[in-house]
Every structure is written in C-alpha cells, then in structure tokens.
Amino acid sequence: MAAASSGLILGIESSCDETAAAVVRRGAEILSNVVASQIPIHSPYGGVVPELASREHLRNIVPVVRSALAQAGVTYQDLDAIAVTEGPGLAGALLVGISFAKALAASLEKPLIAVNHLEGHIHAVLLEEAHGRHSARQPALSDPEEAKRAKGESKEPALLALVVSGGHTHLYLARMHDGAWAYRNVGRTVDDAAGEAFDKVAKLLGLGYPGGPWIDALAPHGNPEAVPFSFSQIKAKAHRKGDPGALDPAEATYFSFSGIKTAVLRYVHVHEMEASIGKRRAALAGLADPKPSDALPLCDRRTLDLIASFQRSVIDDLRRKTFRAAERFHVDRILVSGGVAANRELRVRFTADAAENDVAIAFPALALATDNAAMIAAAAWPKFLGREFAAASLTAEPSLALGSPA
Ligand code: KG4
Ligand code: ZN
C-alpha cells in the first residue's frame, strides 16, 4: 500500500476546543486545513467547559472532515492513512476524534496513526520547512524518506523546540534518527502554562477569551517597563522527589506562570482598578462580537501599562530560559510553536535574540500556531513511512507525555 501511495494523510484533531481536519501530502503540502472553533461557545465562561467541548466536537466532526476532503479535492478512497490526536487533552473531546478516526480507518481498511498533540505542534513548523525544501527541490532533511536516502545522514543534529500553548509550556530536544523523530523533554512548567497565564490575566482585567490575542493587540499601547514583575528561579531539585513529570536535574529548565497572575491580581487591588474592570467587562459583554479594538478605548493608561508589562515579563522569561537551554545543549536551531507562538512581541524578541546568538529560529504560520489538524497529519508522515500504526484498542490518553524525560 505504501509503495504506490501518493502520501495523502487525513489528520483529525479534537483535543480541546477546536474540531479540525486536514489533508496533507507527504507531511509537507497542505491540501486543506479546516478548523471549527468553539470560541463563541466557551467565551461566556471565560474558559473551556469540557462537556460543552465534547458536545460541539460531536456536532462538528462529520461536516469538518467532509469539508477537509472536499477542499482538498480528494475522496476517502484516495487517502493513505487516517491520523488522529491521541492526547494530551480533554478525555471526552479526544474520544470524539479517536472514535471517528477509528471507525473511518476500519471501514476504509486504511491504517490508523496515533499522534501526540505536542509532537503535532512541533510539526506545524517542520511541515512548512519540508514544503519549502520540496518546492525548491532541495533535500528535505525533515522528510524521513529523503533523510534516509541522503548518504551518511542517518542522525541529524538536535533542534530545540519550545511548545507554548494554553495547556503546555515545554522544551524538547528533537532529533531525527533513521527516519523517525525522537524527543527528550528538557523543560516544563511546574504550574500554569504560559497561554493559561495570558487567558487568566485577560479574564481578570475584563477582556475577552481566549486572552492571548487580546493582550497581544493591546500591549503595544502600553509601556512594557512600567510595572516590574520578577520571576523566581525554580530549583530542579524541588521538583524531583515523587514528581512523575520530573526532569533530569542536570538539564532541566523549569517555568512557572502562576506567580505573575497573582502579582497582576495584587496590582489590581492595590491600585483599586476593580470598578473600571467591571465597567469594561459589562461594556464588552453588551457587544455581539467584541474585539480587542473595542477594548482599547475602555482601557486607561495604567491598565495598558499593566498589560504591556505582563506580556513583556512572560516573553522575557520564555526567551531567557529557551536561549540558555539552547546554549547548554549546543543547538543552533530553535522552533517556537503552540498558540502563544502567534504572539507578535514574542516573535520579534525571539528573532532578535536568535540573530544575536547566531541561532536559526522558526515559527509556524499564524494559522498553524494554534490547534489545527494539518500539524497532526504532518507529524503522522514519518510514522506512516515507518509503518507505526495504531492498534484497534487506541483510546484517549489525556495526560500523554512526549518523549523521554531524561
Ligand atoms: O495551541 P493552542 O491553540 O491550544 C492548546 O493546545 O492549548 O493554544 C491556545 C493558547 C491560548 O492560551 C491563547 O490565549 C494563546 O494560545 N494564544 C496567544 C495568542 N494567540 C493564542 N497568546 C499570546 N498571544 C497570541 N497572539
Ligand atoms: Zn495545542
């Protein structure tokens, strides 16, 4: 089957609040990428409500998959495999995608491929690099087939991937070895994810959901040096004993973002900002489809300075620790992916640091930074070539980890 294949993989993603399906050729060329967002459903609650997410996935999965095939101009029979997110994510949400993908693969008699959502985020960047090389007819070293063919290139140098989203803040050393990707987890958050901090701070300031794009849009209007926030250094040792997610202390990078949220809350109390926040929240709630531009005239200088300072502090912490890890592991290539990688100031500051440190840096296109299924289909391609197929017993793994911790 693989020998004569045209390399068409249908990816399905339903781990959180987006129902997504995409058709990707040979892990590099996106033929379609359909995302049904549930933002309007969860917005009134200021966060994802798991039961509502499962219900919406059930409602959306069939039309989303159908339109992914239609937009790609392919039929079910043309597909070579079905790839689906196995975890991490919300159990009920994951199960919708997995059950659908399993049924589809069984009825079409096509292989089923299980993909880790975090690996998907990394491949959002790799797929674009592979596509660029294909079109330029250069050897695509992130394409396992070509990598295997390239003489003496069975082991590539490692790259460092920062996956920074609403649910995760992770650093991975990623390396392709004999056509398969291997990951080592060398950094993680001990509490909130960076995107979660954006979401919580936006919520407590009376802005919309999810908070990242609101803070991104409002931050340039404030002074990022107005409010000094500090990040404590987190000792690896403190997160070793009895911690199943503990990393090797010799190489671990730990992030922590719950403190800054508390610091913002304290700042709000001290400066008695509650009344103006309440007014802003009510004004935005009265709009049918509120946008960050609606919030701008509702924010005073102090609020804009607070937003800018919060964003600068989070980005600086991510930036400092990521580049320190790159130096420690002697890598000369960094990828930043996940929803927070859509942030404009993050891209500018990481790019400047990369130039200064003589390190290559890459981000996904904006549409591929947040959750999507093209990244799942792309991550499945090396597994398809390696015939790494999922068993019929595949089920949701809400706490699935990526790679070895040491
Ligand atoms: O990757 P993603 O879509 O879902 C998860 O796997 O979590 O990431 C969503 C997260 C949310 O926390 C959202 O606020 C954040 O990414 N986000 C941003 C931006 N766009 C999305 N954070 C900062 N700046 C942005 N422009
Ligand atoms: Zn994600």
Cα separation, 79 vs 299, whole angstroms: 50
Q: Is 292 in the pocket of ligand 1 (CB under 6 A)?
A: no
In order of 226, 274, 292, 295, the CA distances from 217 in angstroms are: 18, 22, 6, 10
What is the pLDDT averaged over residues 167-172?
A: 96
pLDDT at 5 (0 to 100): 74
What is the pLDDT averaged over residues 87-112?
A: 98
Residue ranges with strand state E in 243-310: 253-255
Ligand minimally distant from the alpha carbon of residue 210: 1
pLDDT at 148 (0 to 100): 52
What's the 267 CA to ligand 2 centre distance in angstroms?
30
Report whether 175 contacts 405 (CB < 8 A).
Answer: no
Is the pLDDT at 386 greater than 50? The verdict is yes
By the 10 Å C-beta count (0-12 exposed, 13-18 middle, 19+ buried), 5 is classed as middle
Nearest to 86 by CA among 406, 404, 393: 393
Could you identify the atom of ligand 1 that is nearest to the CA of residue 194?
Answer: 12
Neighbours of ion ligand 2 (CB under 5 A): 165, 371
Enumerate the domain spans of the chain: 8-153+368-405, 185-366
Percent above pLDDT 90 for the chain:
81
CATH topology match: 8-153+368-405 vs 185-366:
yes
Could you identify the atom of ligand 1 that is nearest to the CA of residue 18?
Answer: 3
Q: Is 218 in the pocket of ligand 1 (CB under 6 A)?
A: no
Query: Ligand 1: which of 15, 116, 165, 345 to mutate, judged by most atoms within 8 Å of the beta carbon?
Result: 165
Is the pLDDT at 149 greater than 60? The verdict is no
Q: Is 30 in the pocket of ligand 1 (CB under 6 A)?
A: no
pLDDT at 129 (0 to 100): 85
pLDDT digits (tens, 9 = 90+) for 65-76: 999 999 999 999
What is the pLDDT averaged over residues 271-298?
A: 96
What's the 273 CA to ligand 2 centre distance in angstroms?
33
Fold of the domain spanning 185-366: Nucleotidyltransferase; domain 5 (3.30.420)
Mean pLDDT in the chain? Answer: 91
What's the 5 CA to ligand 1 centre distance in angstroms?
35
Helix (H) or strand (E) holding 171: strand 169-177
pLDDT at 110 (0 to 100): 98
pLDDT digits (tens, 9 = 90+) for 3-61: 457 999 999 999 999 999 999 999 999 999 999 998 889 988 888 899 999 999 999 99
Is the pLDDT at 142 greater than 90? The verdict is no
- Please report which confidence band the pLDDT of residue 151 belongs to, taking 50, 70 and 90 as the band edges: very low
Q: Is 14 in the pocket of ligand 1 (CB under 6 A)?
A: no
Q: Is 11 in the pocket of ligand 1 (CB under 6 A)?
A: no
Query: Ligand 1: which of 94, 198, 261 to mutate, judged by most atoms within 8 Å of the beta carbon?
Result: 198
The CATH number fitting domain 8-153+368-405, selected from 3.30.70.1070, 3.30.980.10, 3.30.420.40, 3.10.290.10? 3.30.420.40
Most distant CA pair in the chain: distance in Å? 68
Q: Is 343 in the pocket of ligand 1 (CB under 6 A)?
A: yes
